[in-house]
């Protein structure tokens, strides 16, 4: 691979799920090979980071594995890790509100469903295999300014699968809590609630959260004119900022591709590498 070295660094932010990795967070290139490739790109002047609604710790683990040298914008712009510093781009009250929602949600689950529900914070929790329950609600402990959970049930073969009936009831409960927990100036209708039926999951982002907040902060920190964004989903798009240039991997949604400047013919990790090559040669 021949790289054209540039004097001025270029900041490239990649989305995480279904862009660099698949839904199970697997790379489609061997990690050791990808480390070598990323090192070559970084030596050629690219600053490689993340911008996603994924929790910070999940992306930080991957960034360390791949020896990435750039910042991480996490939880849809709610926080940015730049060097060893974590910058919160939304007001502190957002953290207080989301923490209150999480606590009330967990208390309400046990109060309403009693021993029919099992609460866990990991799929590795041994209680999922040993305890008796009708359904389990597994929250993501890494989220700081958002809330996500999966609702699963255990089959006879001990396999955990989405519990769609209980998912509906759990989402109805969390919506009720949102309506009765948020201050009156926060509009419930603007809270973003993402539901994935196939995974039995739900993710809730505060209405004050926007990807653009983290990106604007980074543009000031790096004193650069533009950021390259590689993504695959509409949520990866940053509106109303001409300084952000959007590229798409092959498996991106048609809606996202239609708005991008450049498309790769390769999916996920291979597509990211293909686009990084093109950015380096510009």
Q: Which CATH superfamily is domain 48-89+210-276 in?
A: HAD superfamily/HAD-like (3.40.50.1000)
pLDDT digits (tens, 9 = 90+) for 102-148: 999 999 999 999 999 999 999 999 999 888 999 999 999 999 888 99
Write down the domain spans for the chain. 48-89+210-276, 92-205
In whole angstroms, give the CA distance from residue 21 to residue 24.
Answer: 8
DSSP collapsed to 3 states, 224-268: CCCEEEEECCHHHCCCCCCCEEEEECCCCCHHHHCCCCEECCCCH
pLDDT digits (tens, 9 = 90+) for 66-80: 999 999 999 988 889
Mean pLDDT, rounded, for 155-171: 93
pLDDT digits (tens, 9 = 90+) for 32-55: 999 999 999 999 999 999 999 999
Q: What angle do CA 268, 272, 278 make, to 5 degrees?
A: 145
How many angstroms separate the Cα of 205 from the Cα of each of 1, 239, 269?
40, 17, 26
């Amino acid at each position: 691979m021949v790289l054209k070295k540039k004097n001025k660094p270029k900041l490239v932010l990649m989305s995480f799920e279904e862009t660099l990795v698949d839904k199970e967070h697997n790379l489609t290139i061997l990690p050791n090979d990808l480390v070598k490739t990323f090192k070559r790109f970084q030596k050629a002047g690219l600053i490689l980071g993340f911008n996603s609604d994924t929790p910070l710790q999940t992306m930080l683990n991957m960034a360390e594995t791949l020896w990435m040298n750039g910042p991480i914008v996490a939880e849809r712009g709610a926080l940015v890790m730049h060097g060893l510093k974590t910058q919160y781009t939304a007001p502190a009250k957002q953290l207080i509100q989301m923490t209150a929602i999480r606590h009330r949600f967990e208390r309400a689950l046990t109060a309403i469903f009693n021993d029919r529900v099992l609460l866990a914070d990991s799929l590795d929790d041994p209680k999922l295999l040993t305890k008796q329950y009708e359904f389990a609600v597994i929250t993501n402990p890494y989220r700081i300014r958002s809330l996500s959970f999966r609702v699963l049930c255990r089959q006879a073969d001990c396999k955990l699968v989405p519990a769609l009936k209980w998912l509906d009831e759990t989402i109805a409960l969390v919506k009720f809590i949102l309506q009765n927990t948020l201050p009156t100036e926060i509009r419930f209708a603007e809270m973003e609630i993402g539901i994935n039926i196939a995974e039995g999951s739900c993710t809730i982002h505060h209405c004050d959260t926007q990807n653009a907040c983290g990106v604007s902060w980074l543009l000031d920190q790096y004193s650069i004119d533009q950021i390259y964004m590689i993504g695959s989903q509409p949520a990866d798009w940053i509106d109303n900022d001409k300084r952000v240039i959007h590229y798409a991997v092959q498996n991106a949604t048609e809606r996202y591709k239609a708005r991008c400047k450049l498309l790769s013919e390769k999916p996920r990790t291979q597509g990211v590498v293909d686009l990084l090559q093109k950015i380096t040669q510009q």
